[in-house]
Amino acid sequence: MNRHDRSAGLAAGAAALVSSYAGVGAADHLTIVRSDLTADGHVAVDAIRTAARRLGVRVTDVVQAGTDPRRVLADSDAVLIAADNESPWRGPIVSALADGVRCRVLRMFGTSTALVANGLRMDQTTMARLNANVLETMRSSSVINVTSSSGTDLTIRPLANGTWASSCGHFDGRRPAVLPPGEVNTYTPHVDGVLVADGAVNTSFGFPGSAVLDERPIHVTIANGVVVDAACSDRIVSMVLRDFFEVPNADRVGEVGFGTNIGLRAFIPKLCHLNERWPGIHLGLGSPTQLVDWSCPLHLDLIPADVQIVADGQPVFSNGRYHGLRDCDPEESRIDLHVDAV
């Protein structure tokens, strides 16, 4: 991609964030709060500010440190908290929204030009409908089979009464919307088979080198939701896995996630939520994403590059696209946002 294409993609993504996800337009007031950003993250936020002003939006651009969150919320139609890893103002935001403050709030994790240019190709309405259809299809299935040409062969049995979460960039009035969007997930102990993560990883604890795994895939064998074997040809990654699995409950599958951001074109080297949104499946080892009777302080997401998914004998995902899903109205299938929303 040349410089012109990258610039155009960044501008388009920034405009989509402002109009579709933040839902602001001419004469509205958007406050952008910068928190622990990288240099590239600041470039991304600059593009968002420019896009908003071109749409006639009044923009206030502040840094998080030393700023009063309640005043920001009270004075704005929408607030975008752009961060790298931090999640500031958790308590004050939830409290203010509970008290009736009428302001749309979005959190953007791993803020980067790649996220804005590539992670926001789908508008929020389209994303919400796809998430609802994926969620209803998977939640209503008894058996989900996942395979790939690289060796993935999983059997997943969702819990009949299991809880699910959806991340589609929707602001529900109670907690911030999360960007990048594009995932539904659940917990079930009924996961068996082999996962070959040849796409990327995301972790809560760092990772050596690039998060992209294309030339050093991680192979895990799972029985009854517990990893019984793990291997990688890369010596350093193998050492990371060894240390990770020494943590109590790190060998348990804490999340079965289905990425739904079909606008993504490639994995990125940075550890970030964007890679988790990759269309298909990922498994999160360790810390569960739903309320269960066990816990773990660490979380490791393993993301394959390309899979086929069959739900109750019906093909529902192949070649990077979902198909044959149950059609569902997003408003009738609204599920609480992803647990990292606040």
Tens-digit pLDDT profile for residues 111-136: 999 999 999 999 999 999 999 999 99
Of the residues 89, 118, 147, which one is the last residue of a structural domain? 118
Residue 319 parent element (H or E) = none
User: Do residues 183 and 303 share a domain?
Assistant: yes
3-state secondary structure of 65: coil
User: Do residues 50 and 191 share a domain?
Assistant: no
Q: Mean pLDDT, to the nearest integer, of 167-181?
A: 92
> Residue 299's beta-bridge partner residues?
286
User: Do residues 48 and 10 share a domain?
Assistant: yes
The Cα-based distances of 250 to 49, 116, 210, 243, 338 in angstroms read: 41, 32, 22, 10, 20
pTM of the entire predicted model: 0.93
Within 13 A of 167's CA, how many CA atoms are on the CB side? 32
User: Do residues 269 and 308 share a domain?
Assistant: yes
pLDDT at 340 over 60: no
pLDDT at 328 over 90: no
* 190/188 Cα distance (integer angstroms): 5
Tokens matching residue 169: 């960039």
pLDDT tier for residue 337 given thresholds of 50, 70 and 90: very low
Percent of the chain with pLDDT over 70: 95
For residue 121, count other CB atoms closer than 10 A to its CB. Answer: 17
Of the residues 95, 118, 141, which one is the last residue of a structural domain? 118
User: Do residues 135 and 86 share a domain?
Assistant: no
pLDDT at 334 over 80: no
User: Do residues 12 and 132 share a domain?
Assistant: no
Of the residues 97, 118, 139, which one is the last residue of a structural domain? 118
3-state secondary structure of 151: coil
- CATH of residue 91's domain is 3.40.50.2300
Mean pLDDT of the chain: 93
Tens-digit pLDDT profile for residues 135-162: 999 999 999 999 999 999 999 999 999 9
User: Do residues 71 and 176 share a domain?
Assistant: no
pLDDT at 2 over 70: no
Residue type, 70: R
User: Do residues 170 and 302 share a domain?
Assistant: yes
User: Do residues 92 and 146 share a domain?
Assistant: no
Tens-digit pLDDT profile for residues 215-253: 999 999 999 999 999 999 999 999 999 999 999 999 999
pLDDT tier for residue 87 given thresholds of 50, 70 and 90: confident
> Residue 202's beta-bridge partner residues?
301
User: Do residues 34 and 96 share a domain?
Assistant: yes
Q: Mean pLDDT, to the nearest integer, of 99-106?
A: 94
As for how many domains the chain has, the answer is 2
pLDDT tier for residue 339 given thresholds of 50, 70 and 90: very low
pLDDT tier for residue 1 given thresholds of 50, 70 and 90: low
Contacts with 167 (C-beta within 8 Å, 6 or more apart), sequence order: 131, 178, 181, 182, 183, 184, 277, 337, 338, 341
Tens-digit pLDDT profile for residues 179-200: 999 999 999 999 999 999 999 9
* Kind of pairing between the strands at 177-179 and 144-147: unpaired
DSSP state of 322: E
* Kind of pairing between the strands at 218-223 and 191-197: antiparallel
Q: Mean pLDDT, to the nearest integer, of 306-321?
A: 97
Tens-digit pLDDT profile for residues 286-297: 999 898 999 999
Domain span including residue 321: 124-341
* 120/254 Cα distance (integer angstroms): 27
User: Do residues 64 and 193 share a domain?
Assistant: no
Q: Quote the radius of gyration of the chain (alpha carbons, Å).
A: 20
Exposed, middle or buried, 5 (CB in 10 Å: 0-12/13-18/19+)? Answer: exposed
User: Do residues 91 and 131 share a domain?
Assistant: no
What's CA 143's distance to the chain center, in Å? 24
Q: At what angle do helices 3-16 and 39-54 cross, to 10 degrees?
A: 60
* 111/107 Cα distance (integer angstroms): 10
Tens-digit pLDDT profile for residues 40-74: 999 999 999 999 999 999 999 999 988 899 999 99
Q: Mean pLDDT, to the nearest integer, of 250-269?
A: 97
Tokens matching residue 2: 């040349």
- CA dihedral sign of residues 178, 180, 184, 186: negative
